Amino acid sequence: MRSLCLNGYCKPSEYEVLEILTPQIISPNQVLIKVHAASLNPGEIAIASGSFRAFMSTPFPIRLGYDVSGTVIATGAAVTGFSAGDEVFSCLPWEYRGSSISEYVLAPDSSLAYKPKNLTHIEAAALPLVSITAVHTLQRVKGGVAGKTALITSGLGGVGSVTCQLAKNVYGAANIITTVSTSKVPKVEQTLGKGVVDQVIDYQKTDILKAISHRSIHFVIDTTGTGFQLPLLSKSNSTFVTISGLPSGKNAKESIPGVSLFVVLLLDALHLISRLQAWLYGVKYESVLDKANGTLLTRIASWAEEEKLRPVVGTVIPFETQALRDACTMIASNKGGFGKVVVKIL
Ligand SMILES: NC(=O)c1ccc[n+]([C@@H]2O[C@H](COP(=O)([O-])OP(=O)(O)OC[C@H]3O[C@@H](n4cnc5c(N)ncnc54)[C@H](OP(=O)(O)O)[C@@H]3O)[C@@H](O)[C@H]2O)c1
């Protein structure tokens, strides 16, 4: 089968789609999926470039792809919830990553959910990792989200676009403020739906620290890693949740199998520094590291079917080396993206 497969750490401009063996079920809880669509995430591109090699070992060849939507081809002997022909989607757990930018992929049944009936495979593939991450960030908000004023950065990025929708439509936030680049300002309402975002700040023209009254925000969800001054805006006793900083050692231990004790302790020490900085403003600092979860994905599918959550598919690319190189170079630059880049595999 064809798969995006790298023989060593490299830049996106060196990526290749290669011919490799089709995976076979080897454990009773596994499901073999024919991939229809898969989406790209910045984290996997950073791992493939070697950015995290000090923290985690990556077996070679490196393969990319955490998110998948497709059809079940075969199931292991212990799988009861899914059978051949079912349309499913998944965020693969760490030990199965990445491999969804491929014609076939194996996943444990615990990471799967039925694809939302109202979505195409392209749309469904845009949801898993960013939605799971969004839910985990919102669950970290001290005292809950309902009725509160939130700053959620990058409202048209992969995670930001989903977090804004879930915060308003599912968790009941009262006011959402977001940041986007100049050309995206007019696109926020048409993309996320009327009333989801209450205030859009053009971060390229406006200093966010001047645009928002200090001490007015109940919680911040930082998706850009640029938020170290944002606690200034937060009310005391509020929460600052980041997905872009380093995870805590506890997060890493829960999500990454085999992470070393040294790395766990180092991450906890670094995390403590960020927590202390936020504490000086009276703000609780939290970080999130995504973790595959089929049960949560089933809830996410129902929110999509109830139209509380729209996937934001910015670009659909063919399953070809040059298209993947170009898309991943853009994602790695952290500029210019719109929602998710989805690879059409079938
Ligand atoms: N911890 C976790 O579990 C987890 C999970 C998912 C993602 N992440 C990380 O979270 C980050 C975001 O992920 P993503 O999937 O949302 O990325 P993405 O879809 O590539 O979105 C990034 C977008 O952020 C915008 N941006 C850049 N600088 C900005 C700024 N200063 N203010 C506001 N927006 C800015 C850019 O849009 P413009 O060009 O329009 O500015 C860019 O397109 C990445 O670092 C990723 O690795 C972590």
Does residue 180 line the site of ligand 1, with CB under 6 A? Answer: yes
- Sequence ranges of the domains in the chain: 2-128+292-344, 141-287
Beta bridge partners of 204: none
Label the pairing between strands 217-222 and 234-242: parallel
Q: How far is the CA of 1 from the centre of ligand 1 (A)?
A: 31
Percent of the chain with pLDDT over 70: 99
pLDDT at residue 190, as a whole number: 96
Residue 229 has pLDDT above 80, yes or no: no
- 126: which DSSP letter? T
Q: Mutation test of ligand 1: which of 49, 224, 285, 291 has the most ligand atoms closer than 8 Å to its C-beta?
A: 224
pLDDT digits (tens, 9 = 90+) for 21-69: 999 999 999 999 999 999 999 999 999 999 888 777 788 889 899 999 9
pLDDT band at 118 (very low <50, low <70, confident <90, very high): very high
Instruction: Using the predicted structure, report yes or no on whether residue 191 has a pLDDT greater than 90.
Output: yes
The H-assigned helical ranges of the chain are 42-48, 121-125, 128-139, 158-169, 187-192, 208-211, 249-255, 261-279, 294-305, 321-333
Ligand 1 center to 31 CA (angstroms): 31
Ligand 1 atom, smallest distance to 242 CA: 1
Tell me the per-residue pLDDT of 193-212, one tens digit each, with 9 for 90 and over: 999 999 999 999 999 989 99
Here the tokens at position 62 are: 């490196």
Mean pLDDT of 159-167: 98
Predicted pLDDT of residue 228: 66
Architecture of domain 141-287: 3-Layer(aba) Sandwich (3.40)
Q: 10-24, 44-58, 224-238: which has the highest mean pLDDT?
A: 10-24
Q: For the domain 2-128+292-344, what is the CATH code? A: 3.90.180.10
Residue pair 177/198 in contact (Cβ under 8 Å)? The answer is yes
Pocket lining: 315 vs ligand 1, CB cutoff 6 Å: no
The chain-wide mean pLDDT, for the chain, equals 94
pLDDT tens digit string along 45-57? 999 999 888 777 7
